[in-house]
Structure 1
Amino acid sequence: MRARLLALALLALPWLVQPAAAQSGVAAGFSAFLQNEVWPEARARGVSRATFDAALGNVKPNLNLPDLVLPGQKPAVAENQHQAEFQSPANYFNERNLGSIVSRGRSLLQQHAATLQRIERQYGVPGPIIVAIWGRESGFGSAKIPHDAFEVLATKAYLARRKDMFRAELLAALQIVQDGDLTVAQMKSSWAGALGQPQFMPTKFRELAVDFDGDGRRDIWNSVPDTLASIANYLRQSGWVAGRDWGFEANVPDSVSCANEGPDMVRPIDTFVKAGVTRVSGRPFPDNEQRAPGNLLMPAGRFGPAFIATPNFYVIKAYNNSDLYALFIGHAADRMRGGGPFQGDWVKVSGLTRGDVARMQEKLQATGYDVGGADGLPGFKTRRSIGDYESKNGMTANCWPTRDLSRKLGQ
């Protein structure tokens, strides 16, 4: 038995040696990438050699970060999803998390009322929307942001699926230090490279951060006025329409197909009213919204609440490209103003992995459906394509990836 175990151990040895060799090769390629590709671009943008060396001279690739593609690997959809915004809607709207942000947000709305009123006059964005984003992004500034931004951004610029995007962010981070906004040691970020209390990527910091307290610095790490005004400026520059809401929870009758969802199917809100859509509150849609554009939003298909969204919903989504994120912000803001919980229930369904959904999308694409890409994320194009497929194949149109649909598609 002992000899057999020894033989098995020797057979396993190459598998133990291979990762170390692969990591050594990655480290060598990473160093060459920084020196031969990143440094010339940084120098062309006015970054000094001293700044470059201080930021990147001792940085090693962090292979524990998610969504990396090692040399020799083919990019593939991750089997499981790391980012909360693209996981189960039922989990995302956990009342404990949502309620704590609403409760603390109400207090902070009062505490910073004068500042928020000035910000709304200047940028047109309501205080509750700003505060909800502040809470969601960094727990109102209390969340620990532990990562070395240069390690994260350099690793992702070399190994992530979206290398070009992270390369631009890495260069912008170098410029932030060169400009004197922060020191290298102060450049702490999320695992995705986002900075400060509003979690701006470096390019967004340089473009949109605001000095609202008048001290000469755009300090989104320590200044509440700068943080709140920077969030408002981000939304205004993304197209926020002053005076309009983000959307309304609605009752959508079965006669209105969930396959009619999407911002590219916008129409006057009173068109939905004529089709039988009502607000769950029982109140009519506001007069100023009746003839204004809106669209059907069903982020969990028929397995969750439905909404009529306005263009401002998609402005919030520009901050974080997730329907669930934008809905969380709008709903939390409503509750800070005295609104109640969702009236529709979020039903836990399917248990499919991101990889399962990607394979489902590939099957639908092969039959001519536009699912918005086989990325494993059930966005509105995937949801409505599912609804169309279900209707045409004798199934109840639920507009959500389920195991029943997976079996129907032969997975």
Structure 2
Amino acid sequence: MISRRFPAWSLLCAALLPFHADAQESFARCLEELRGMAATHDIAPPTFEQHVARLEPDMAVIGLLDYQPEFRTPIWDYLAGLVDDERVADGRAMAVQWAGTLQDIEARYGVDPATVVAVWGVESNFGRNFGKRPLLVSLATLSCFGRRQDYFRGEFFTALKIIEDGDIAAQHLAGSWAGAFGHTQFMPSTFRRVAVDFDGDGRRDLIDSIPDALASTANFLRKAGWQTGRPWGFEVALPPDFDAGLAGRRNKRPLSEWVALGVRRADGSAIEPGAEAAGLLLPAGERGPAFLVLRNFDALYSYNAAESYALAIAHLSDRLRGGEPFRASWPTDDPGLSRVERREVQTLLSQLGYDAGEADGALGARSRAAVQQFQRGQGLEPDGRAGRQVLELLRKAYAER
């Protein structure tokens, strides 16, 4: 739930630091500095000694420090993998399984079940993908190397406080490289600020308690300004020669003004004019789908500070309610792939002799390298991207082998 960018120097640091003779010594000096700061963060010395003194750095996280797919992946790839038929079906099943809890959460926090389940699905695939990195290792490393060290030191000490308070045991506190954890991937400071004990066991636990995780998510959105019973926004169609310079999530104007400018819902129906403020979102430019986004979209945006992320949550929540895919097409001749199709890409690559790794639909570094090798063999630009064209070529190559 933080924003990250990815300049080339971060990759270089990731490659060199593990082999640098002074890296371990630098980390040890940094831990001494953190030890001296612990008391000012209300961390008892025994807690620090027990959980920190013998940590080893994980320098791989430095290379990930500025990387976030929300900012690098084409929007049609990003959404194709996050909002596919598989996740919609899983989300609907989870909404049924946890219906009573979700109803109680809505009654207390005013956030509807579909929105809460959508966050759950995007953040951890309904608890299947928490992340496996020990939080203290990642946060200690980020507190000592790279940029934003002050920020990560705050998260590091907050993670220690979570352990000290007894909410989550240290051995269970694992998650993403950046320190997010649990079913709905809270950073430690977010946990301390808004997590709730919804199951009544005396602990706030986003890892082993689904009720706590879902209720904490609803509490986050409520505090972010969620308006009960209001939509996040809706897809629209723009009139010919529309001035795209009016777009922008923050460039809000009353719905009545958008109506006067000729904006209509994507299904052709009129927008009910009113004073409610909306911004026009054009995530792929004026040739792609367009959306008027309202206050609840901003609440979703605050969860991860990326418009593509908020749109994924918003769209998945609509699909969970029975809504249809977007009406407008993305401006590309090579659409993105669902997770089923991404697993097919990985399987075909492996069957053709490429090292694509596990067929998990994630298309990580090994899969991208395998795609690059295949692309070179096909005379294509080896960008490592697996879209519809690569999938079709793989199917053809497998059939002809």
**Interval of TM-score (by shorter of Structure 1 and Structure 2):** 0.7 to 0.9
CA deviation after TM superposition for structure 1 residue 20, in Å: 7.6
Name the structure 2 match of 1:380. Answer: none
Contact kept in structure 1, 2:166 and 2:203, CA below 8 Å: no
Pair 1:316-2:305 in alignment: no
Q: Which amino acid aligns with 1:26?
A: A
Q: 1:157 to 1:68 in 2, by over 3 A?
A: farther
SS of the residue 1:263 aligns to: strand
In structure 2, C-alpha distance between the alignment counterparts of 1:260 and 1:335, rounded to whole Å = 28
Percentage identity across paired residues of the two chains: 38
Contact kept in structure 1, 2:155 and 2:189, CA below 8 Å: yes
Name the structure 2 match of 1:291. Answer: 275
Name the structure 2 match of 1:399. Answer: none
In structure 2, C-alpha distance between the alignment counterparts of 1:234 and 1:274, rounded to whole Å = 35
CA deviation after TM superposition for structure 1 residue 310, in Å: 0.3
Name the structure 1 match of 2:128. Answer: 142
Q: Which amino acid aligns with 1:331?
A: H
Name the structure 1 match of 2:394. Answer: none
Q: Which amino acid aligns with 1:311?
A: R
Contact kept in structure 2, 1:68 and 1:159, CA below 8 Å: no
TM-score (norm 1): 0.73
Name the structure 2 match of 1:25. Answer: 22
In structure 2, C-alpha distance between the alignment counterparts of 1:223 and 1:215, rounded to whole Å = 10
Contact kept in structure 2, 1:67 and 1:161, CA below 8 Å: no
SS of the residue 2:22 aligns to: helix
Name the structure 1 match of 2:46. Answer: 50
Unpaired runs of at least 5, structure 2:
1-14, 335-401
Contact kept in structure 1, 2:140 and 2:153, CA below 8 Å: yes
SS of the residue 1:94 aligns to: helix
CA deviation after TM superposition for structure 1 residue 63, in Å: 1.6
In structure 2, C-alpha distance between the alignment counterparts of 1:109 and 1:22, rounded to whole Å = 48
Name the structure 2 match of 1:339. Answer: 323
Q: 1:110 to 1:284 in 2, by over 3 A?
A: farther
Q: 1:251 to 1:47 in 2, by over 3 A?
A: same
Contact kept in structure 2, 1:86 and 1:322, CA below 8 Å: no
Name the structure 2 match of 1:355. Answer: none
Q: 1:321 to 1:67 in 2, by over 3 A?
A: farther
Name the structure 2 match of 1:35. Answer: 32
In structure 2, C-alpha distance between the alignment counterparts of 1:85 and 1:211, rounded to whole Å = 34
Aligned Cα root-mean-square deviation (Å): 2.2
Pair 1:259-2:245 in alignment: yes
Q: 1:228 to 1:85 in 2, by over 3 A?
A: farther
In structure 2, C-alpha distance between the alignment counterparts of 1:150 and 1:156, rounded to whole Å = 10
In structure 1, C-alpha distance between the alignment counterparts of 2:241 and 2:17, rounded to whole Å = 59
CA deviation after TM superposition for structure 1 residue 156, in Å: 1.0
In structure 1, C-alpha distance between the alignment counterparts of 2:145 and 2:323, rounded to whole Å = 44
- Higher Rg: 1
Name the structure 2 match of 1:168. Answer: 154
CA deviation after TM superposition for structure 1 residue 263, in Å: 3.1
In structure 2, C-alpha distance between the alignment counterparts of 1:309 and 1:134, rounded to whole Å = 21
Q: 1:83 to 1:58 in 2, by over 3 A?
A: farther
How many equivalent residue pairs?
320
Q: 1:68 to 1:163 in 2, by over 3 A?
A: farther
Q: Which amino acid aligns with 1:39?
A: R
Pair 1:91-2:88 in alignment: no
TM-score (norm 2): 0.75
Unpaired runs of at least 5, structure 1:
1-17, 70-77, 351-411
Where does 1:96-135 land on structure 2 (aligned, <5 Å)? 97-135=83-121
Q: 1:184 to 1:284 in 2, by over 3 A?
A: same
Pair 1:216-2:212 in alignment: no
